[in-house]
Structure 1
Amino acid sequence: MNIMAGKVLAETVRTTLGPKGMDKMLVDGMGDIVVTNDGVTILKEMDIEHPAAKMLVEVAKTQEDEVGDGTTTAVIIAGELLKKAEDLLDQEIHPTTLVMGYRKAAAKAQEMLNQIAIDASDRETLQMVAMTAMTGKGTEKAREPLAELIVDAVLQVEEDGEVDADQINIHRIQGATVHDSQIVNGVVIDKSRAINSMPKDLTDASIALLKYPIEVKDLETDAKIKLTDPAQMQAFIEQEEQMVKDMVDKVVASGADVIFCQKGIDDLAQHLLAKAGILAVKRVRKSDMERIGKATGAQVVTNIEELSADDLGHAGHVYEKKIFDEVLIFVEECEEPKAVSIILRGSTRHVAEEVERAVEDAIGVVSATVEDGQVVAGGGAPEIAIARGLKDYADTISGREQLAIAAFAEALEVVPKTLAENAGLDQIDALVDLRAAHEENFYMGLDVFKGEVTNMKDAQVIEPKRVKKQAIQSAAEAAEMILRIDDMIASTGSSEPDMGGMEGMGGMPGGMPPMM
């Protein structure tokens, strides 16, 4: 049953693999639809109940978190490993023997992957990697300009060989076409000015980041104030106003032209800030605050009393702009910003969403290439190369584990077979041609557009080594875990046994009657 669940899940996403993969339309109970061929999105949105199938969904999520691409590959390899295991189990090979064989094969596969990897992380390679990741994901026509945007963004936020993809902020706006997408050398946030009387466009701006509200805080405890004279009421109100004015004076004294506040800003404070010619934005998300800090060099201030000129950041241009039906604040012309924004356009919401998923995958693979500096050829080339090596390795192993290692090798061939199948080519012919071509060159892969075996390095179809490494590792571990399960038992969902009375005995095996 567990193996069947894994196989069914793999078959579901299998048709989405490769440049000619098909899309899935996912419809929820409310009638909302998602159209995508992104493996992890399909698996997350699917209503899955089977425990073993859920384990394969975890494989896809891990792959997405680690690399950002290769989720479909990981799931179909796991499904094929289970399928091959089923045949061996029918031959009465013990699951433990199978698992040991798979474990050895996975370790050997990682060694071979290191041997066929190419050291490269130059700009041209990064663009090839980005274009390969986006091929067949609804971004076909604009993949070259998008690849340039992505490489620019990743190289901009890279620090000491590490890339924090969270510092690349993607804004999806429908309307116009994918070609109208642009990179902003700074930060874009989907907020507007606090009030319209504030300046809309500032140059050479000094920026303050406040985690402190510019308003009178509510008391945390219930309190009553007894007033005996109307003058006391007036004095009380004036006191509150004075507190707000003092806060605004503190901001003005720091020399800030622009304030991004994570909390609220009082109506009076908004009016006073506007009079002082300061652009203020309230209730800014924490993640946006961090990006603005990275881009401008501003420090987040938690107490307004401590705000000084040393905490301010700088940007050449801060302005508000409306794109389609969204009002955005742009913080641009920053000096060496370590945070950037990409504005993605798409003719409809569904197109823009799919473009965003493709771009996120591409950012993941470009980041992995920058960090590791190693790539492999695409088009099923590494899988065929590793499968050949594993078959030779299997001959050196005695005992039944040899069969498991040979099965692992055959399972890896599901990737080029699926690429051929999805492109309308003959699987067997493609596999035979690939095996023959690999006698001479391990860069040979399947060009699905021409329908022939081609040198993938020359065809500029390149993937990061980390995508393949993680896919093979995750698939092998998930298959091992499922194969080691010999029984499925319903649990109570709590670690404490239910001792709440003897009547529970009626549910015991044999239907023992309740004891009086």
Structure 2
Amino acid sequence: MEEEYIQTMCMQLLKFKPDLVITEKGLSDLACHYLSKAGVSAIRRLRKTDNNRIAKACGLLLSIDQRSCKSLMLELEQACLNSKNLWPYEAAAVAFEAILGTLAQNCGVNVIRTVTALQGKHANVGNEWVGIDGNAGEIVNMKEQKIWDSYNVKAQTFKTAIEVACVLLRIDDIVSGIKKKQAPGSGPSPSKAKIEEEGEADNDPLIPE
């Protein structure tokens, strides 16, 4: 896979028919092999200052507009989200599935089969408007049935649900973090047995008045 990727990049460079390839980064041995096989010289790990000097000496024009490269890097960064960043989205997706289950249960249909069938339809392209009919309990096209929901209401519902979940998590952290701190020996002392004297024992009435 890596060899095919390097070969594809070299072929893209060779389409411009260059005589010399200069890069500030490194070049693998396989890339140097493909370039030398095509009769192209390659210089790697060149300093930025030296690169600017070569461009001025050869009368080259450096690319000032870097928006395309920046956009490409941002897309790569978004596509390479680690697992920790994906946890909130996965938790929200699981929570939203409860809405489908509740709607299917209220319609009196099999919840597992209906939700599974709906998820299978959503996995295919072109079924974005497929949902559950609240009256018949069937999977239909919401756009064709003219079943609409207000976007503002749904967006506010999702926002409120996430905010409430965050508040509950904060409260849970605060409650679990509270500990009763007492200095050693400051706790209540154990009760001592009271020894009655002979005179006090005789003075206590045995039968209440």
Q: Which bracket does the TM-score occupy, shorter chain normalised?
A: 0.3 to 0.5
Give the structure-1-normalised TM-score: 0.18
> Per chain length, whose mean CA-contact separation is higher, i.e. which structure has more relative contact order (CA < 8 Å, sep 6+)?
1
Give the structure-2-normalised TM-score: 0.43
Higher strand share: 1
